[in-house]
Structure 1
Amino acid sequence: MRRVLITAGARGIGRAMADAFDKAGFDVWVTDVDPAALAEIPAVWTGIAAHAADEDDMRRVFAQMGRLDVLCANAGIAGPTAAIEDVTMEDWRACLGVNLDGAFLAAKYAAPLMKKAGQGSIIVTSSTAGQHGYPFRAPYAAAKWGVIGLMKTLAMELGPFGVRCNAICPGSVEGPRMEGVLNREAEAKGMTRDQVYDGYASGTSMRSFVEAEDIANMAVFLGTDVSRKVSGQVIAVDGHTENPDPKV
């Protein structure tokens, strides 16, 4: 049975990925910082409490694995919504820590297992913020651009060992995390939550948000042999973002 590890896999997009890989017949391992969320995962999964940006935690996770076929480096936080002059160093470092350091650490410890096996798929969760400028979200955009640079480098470095690396760029995903972003952005811009929502939706050619399951389905595609020659790619699942912030 093939094995997948999903960081931040007990909630949100990560949980949708875990469910999708489970349905595809994978042995599912997830990490998360929320013990309550981990307590709700299926008993047949392996759940480990760990912080994606803590190297001791991630070293401990991978020491238990033995082998790994697919890594979904999915952990991330939204970071602050603020003008650049109002972003604190603490918030900047926290956002880059989870989003970029977390992807780095997961890849660092997954690579030896995959190189030894001569195969594997590393999937990093970036964002459309990693493809466009993103006003009032400087730390998040910087981190998600950095994740793509990391992925491109890993694809070149690990390709000779049979390991593929790709990035998924979700657009606006329905759910609690995006609701927090909408409300903070509305406050920062002096707009209503619905105005910000409509602005995001109208910035896509499909005029809609996406669901976590849409992201999960792409992850399964990238984690299985049907995509065996797909590597080094940045794939948006966003309804085609035309303008990431049309009402600024």
Structure 2
Amino acid sequence: MNARVLITAGASGVGHAMAQAFATAGARVWVADLDQVALDRCPSDWGRSCLDVTDETALRAMFARIDAEWGGLDTLCCNAGIAGPTARVEDVDLADWRTCIAVNLDGAFLCAKHAAPLMKRQGAGAILITSSTAGQYGYPNRAPYAAAKWGVIGLAKTLAMELGPHGIRCNVICPGAVEGPRMEGVLAREAVAKGMTRDQVYQGYASGTSMGRFIEAQDVAAMAVFLASDAARLVSGQVIAVDGHTVNPDPKL
């Protein structure tokens, strides 16, 4: 794969797994992240930008720099996101709602907005947006997150229609529960909200899938590499879950 790939939130977690998978496949990789320390740990041959995806001025400068150094962009992975609050809807603070929507939805929109001209100029490109199974089924006590993750699906399907005539594809990956520090935080908060133990919440997620397990970041990364590749050249406007097959999105124990 001789591609130029930008991954937001690419210095850790799922984004870092994507970056590693693309690099292994032979792509040139650029990662954007808020965490400068994590960026400093990334391989020296990766492009790196420390920024907030809701800051359009910073994004504009990054895309200009990518264009100057690479002469274009082949794949954009809009992966930046936050979990948002875990609370009943009547207890969600408006400021927390707006922050969650801004990072998860506005961030994807802004990245696509600034990537589109580069991809249009070359007549080809792939945009991948990380949503969640919460964007397919809803998610009790996580109204801001679920709303944002449904929103990016609407964005992606619209982008696929709008940009398709320019040779640009857009697809959505919906991870299920991913093993790692971020999910551990979600488990801890939900345990408190539901009056359960961490292990009970974990088992609830796992038992809600037909395969009875969490997924690994590498599973999401492998799907991203496939969707960006020529093997998926006519795959666009699709929403693909990598979740061990969710059969009950809100299992009760």
TM-score category, normalised to shorter length: over 0.9
Match of 1:91 in 2: 96
How far, CA to CA, are the matches of 1:10 and 1:54 in structure 2?
18
Q: Which runs of 4+ in 1 moved over 3 A?
A: none
State the shift of 1:43 in Å. 0.4
State the shift of 1:88 in Å. 0.2
Match of 2:42 in 1: 41
How far, CA to CA, are the matches of 2:53 and 2:135 in structure 1?
19
Cα deviation per residue 1:33-74 (whole Å; 9 max; x = unaligned)? 000000000001011101111111111110111100000000
Match of 1:105 in 2: 110
Aligned equivalent of 2:151, options 146, 152, 155: 146
Structure 2-normalised TM-score? 0.97
Cα deviation per residue 1:137-195 (whole Å; 9 max; x = unaligned)? 00000000000000000000000000000000000000000000000001001011100
Letter aligned with residue 158 of structure 1: L
How far, CA to CA, are the matches of 2:95 and 2:177 in structure 1?
25
The alignment status of 1:70 with 2:75, answered yes or no, reads: yes
How far, CA to CA, are the matches of 1:42 and 1:65 in structure 2?
17
How far, CA to CA, are the matches of 1:65 and 1:241 in structure 2?
38
How far, CA to CA, are the matches of 1:86 and 1:56 in structure 2?
33
Cα deviation per residue 1:109-164 (whole Å; 9 max; x = unaligned)? 00000010000000000000000021000000000000000000000000000000
The alignment status of 1:199 with 2:209, answered yes or no, reads: no
Match of 2:222 in 1: 217
Match of 2:28 in 1: 27
CA RMSD of aligned residues (A): 0.7
Residue correspondences, number: 248
* 1:199 partner SS: helix
How far, CA to CA, are the matches of 1:11 and 1:133 in structure 2?
26
How far, CA to CA, are the matches of 1:210 and 1:241 in structure 2?
11
Identity of aligned residues (%): 69
How far, CA to CA, are the matches of 1:242 and 1:96 in structure 2?
27
Match of 2:60 in 1: 59
Aligned equivalent of 1:160, options 157, 160, 165: 165
The alignment status of 1:187 with 2:192, answered yes or no, reads: yes
* 1:16 partner SS: helix
* 1:22 partner SS: helix
How far, CA to CA, are the matches of 1:44 and 1:65 in structure 2?
14
